[in-house]
């Protein structure tokens, strides 16, 4: 455990640009052969992930953590950067994703659940059961230069949580991650992508510099960053279309602001 557990990273200054950055959303990286093994579409194989990272490179893009991306944009740069996020904190991030990120000079943000250390994804009733990182695993990921963010304590729909539970999910998870890694997490990720104005305001008040959603609509901003889901089926053509959709969506948002 690092000696200085009160050390916080430099704050992420919200980007001056009106458009949200392109942020990709992953979950698990594991081998599978039958789509029935992945009923929620949350798994990509290591081979697919590597091909997707190579596609980014072929387009002059590099995947980085969301914190790194937002700092670059706030400084007036970041045009060749894409955010990489991995939700839930599966053990396979350490065994399968991390070696590929290192190989291709990328970083990522791993959103973890400090209230479910070393157990599995009980919130996915159809399975398959996937193990979650232990405290030591989270520290190992952080030591490897990857960003650790909070996904709450227990993977709950925060829009349905009473105020006291919402506060614990936000601030309690942040404090636990500081104890685990020695650093306050900059970012939060809304479980299931569910959010509303109350949850976004509470996230901001809890001290997070940014938060990731999926499609936040009019709530889009530093504490409701839209993301693009990446699946096993996403080769170069599909990624190109998804990138174009993101750019069109952000142009439309800018027009209506």
pLDDT of residue 75: 97
Instruction: Judge contact between 64 and 81, C-beta under 8 A.
Output: yes
Place of tokens 């894409």: 82
Token pair belonging to 152: 């709450």
Q: Is this model's pTM higher than 0.85 or not? A: yes
Alpha-carbon gap, residue 123 to 249, rounded angstroms: 31
Greatest extent of the chain over all pairs of C-alpha atoms, in Å: 48
- pLDDT above 60 for 9: no
- pLDDT above 50 for 108: yes
Report phi then psi at 20, rounded to 5.
Answer: -75, 145
Instruction: Judge contact between 187 and 109, C-beta under 8 A.
Output: yes
Place of tokens 């706030």: 74
Alpha-carbon gap, residue 205 to 102, rounded angstroms: 34
- pLDDT above 60 for 222: yes
- pLDDT above 50 for 113: yes
Alpha-carbon gap, residue 254 to 257, rounded angstroms: 5
3-state SS track over 90-156? EHHHHHHHHHHHHHCCCCCEEEECCCCCCCECCCCCCCCCCEECCHHHHHHHHHCCCEEEECCCCCC
Alpha-carbon gap, residue 95 to 45, rounded angstroms: 12
Give long-range contacts, CB 8 A cutoff, 24+ apart: 171-177: 171/206, 171/207, 172/115, 173/113, 173/114, 173/115, 174/150, 174/206, 174/207, 174/208, 176/114, 176/115, 177/112, 177/114, 177/138, 177/148, 177/150
pLDDT of residue 10: 44
Alpha-carbon gap, residue 165 to 169, rounded angstroms: 6
Instruction: Judge contact between 83 and 109, C-beta under 8 A.
Output: yes
pLDDT grade for 233, boundaries at 50, 70 and 90: very high
When pLDDT is averaged across residues 153-167 and rounded to a whole number, the result is: 98
Instruction: Judge contact between 208 and 200, C-beta under 8 A.
Output: no
Length of the chain: 257
User: 26-42 pLDDT, tens per residue?
Assistant: 999 999 989 889 999 99
Token pair belonging to 221: 């901003």
Report phi then psi at 67, rounded to 5.
Answer: -60, -45
What average pLDDT is seen over the chain? 93
pLDDT of residue 4: 40
pLDDT of residue 1: 36
Alpha-carbon gap, residue 203 to 217, rounded angstroms: 17
């Amino acid at each position: 455990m690092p000696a200085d557990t009160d050390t916080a990273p430099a704050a992420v200054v919200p980007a001056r640009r009106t458009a949200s950055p392109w942020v990709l959303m992953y979950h698990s990286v594991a081998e599978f052969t039958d789509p029935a093994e992945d009923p929620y579409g949350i798994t990509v194989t290591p081979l697919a992930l590597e091909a997707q990272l190579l596609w980014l490179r072929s387009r002059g893009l590099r995947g980085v953590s969301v914190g790194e991306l937002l700092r670059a944009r706030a400084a007036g740069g970041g045009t060749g950067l894409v955010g990489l996020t991995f939700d839930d904190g599966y053990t396979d991030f350490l065994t399968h994703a991390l070696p590929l990120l290192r190989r291709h000079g990328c970083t990522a943000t791993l959103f973890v659940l400090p209230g479910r250390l070393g157990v599995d994804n009980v919130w996915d009733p159809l399975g398959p059961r996937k193990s979650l990182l232990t405290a030591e695993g989270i520290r190992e990921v952080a030591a490897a230069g990857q960003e650790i963010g909070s996904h709450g304590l227990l993977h709950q729909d925060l829009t349905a949580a009473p105020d006291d539970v919402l506060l614990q999910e936000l601030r309690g998870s942040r404090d636990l991650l500081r104890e685990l890694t020695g650093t306050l997490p900059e970012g939060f990720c809304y479980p299931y992508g569910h959010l509303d104005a109350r949850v976004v305001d509470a996230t901001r008040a809890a001290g997070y510099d940014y938060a990731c959603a999926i499609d936040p609509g009019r709530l889009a901003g530093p504490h409701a960053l839209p993301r693009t889901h990446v699946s096993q089926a996403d080769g170069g053509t599909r990624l190109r279309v998804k990138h174009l959709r993101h750019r069109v969506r952000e142009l439309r948002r800018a027009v209506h602001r």
